[in-house]
Amino acid sequence: MVFILLSEIITLKDGIEILKKRNYDVLINFYEVEKARGNYIQAKQFYNPNFSISYSSINYDPKLRAFYDDNNTQFSAGINWDLIDISGKRFYSIQASYSNWIAQEYLFRSSLREIIIQFINQFFQTLSDKEYLNYLKDDFSNYETFLDILSKKYEIGSLSYVDYLKFKFYKLELENAIKEAQLNYENDLRELSFLLGGGNYEPSIKNDTILESLEINELLKKAYENRSDLKAFKNTKDFYDYELKLYKAYLIPDTYFQFQYDPIGTEYTPRFGIGLSFDLPFFDRKQGFINYYQAQIKQVEILMSKTIENIKLDIETS
């Protein structure tokens, strides 16, 4: 009973608030959202320019064991920057990471909903087992009083020894039932406390909450508008759409802006130069990724249809 005596009494509302802050799975899923947000922040960053410098035509004389300039020195410095995005890759990357971030946010809310439901079930299961334990204890107390009366009847000979023995055996059965109920209740408390991130808690109902009565069609409408898992699938589909567009955009080559300064050469006249370069997508045309995200989009569409039907089924059978 030490576990119970040291427990903090909580209501259902208190427990849900603690769960949101301390439940292990809630915290783990929360950082999935943070990772997705980090990817979105990174996607918005511009590419860094590349700076290069070269100096050539320095010879080495093994007889003199020294380096010397052969008067044909080449020196150049340049900047290479992937500045022109004519295919929209950066835009699609930003939109994809944003959609994934929002999808992860809705998935987090959906998982939170499921964890809260699990906690509510455990909360009322614990209360139920507590009531059953109290019932057995009251029954045992009453039975002991009843057994005292039977003992007096047995002493004056109005009750046979066999019948008296049967009643005493039932007392042992009650004691074993109380021990089992006590163990179940303590296990319930441990499971409840684990869902709340550790500590010792005991449930209590101070105020009953009554759900408002709504028509099925109204419930379905609210569910379709507010269910986080359905919203998550919609944003996941947007994420895959943008990823598909991103890999299709690779068919359009990237264009690189180049700037170069060359002050030393055979003519010793400093010169500037600019240029453009781009990849030629002859071989790797991202066919595998395009096929992958096309399949992902179809799969998410099926999952969305399944979720809508599950919502309808849950409401109609509840």
pLDDT at 45: 81
pLDDT at 66: 65
Full-model pTM = 0.64
pLDDT tens-place values along the chain, 318 residues long = 444 446 788 888 889 889 999 999 899 889 988 998 888 888 888 777 777 776 666 666 677 676 666 566 666 677 777 666 767 788 888 888 898 888 888 889 888 888 988 898 899 899 999 998 998 888 878 877 777 777 777 677 777 777 767 777 878 888 888 999 999 999 999 999 999 988 888 888 765 454 444 455 555 565 566 677 777 778 888 888 888 887 787 777 666 666 565 655 555 555 555 666 667 776 767 777 787 778 888 888 887 887 777 777 666 655
pLDDT at 293: 79
Q: Which CATH number fits domain 2-209+252-285: 3.40.50.300, 1.20.1300.10, 2.40.50.420, 1.20.1600.10?
A: 1.20.1600.10
pLDDT at 213: 47
pLDDT at 155: 73
CA end-to-end span of the chain, whole Å? 37
- Name the token pair of 253: 């080559």
Report the alpha-carbon distance of residue 125 to residue 203 in Å, rounded: 10
pLDDT at 183: 93
pLDDT at 91: 85
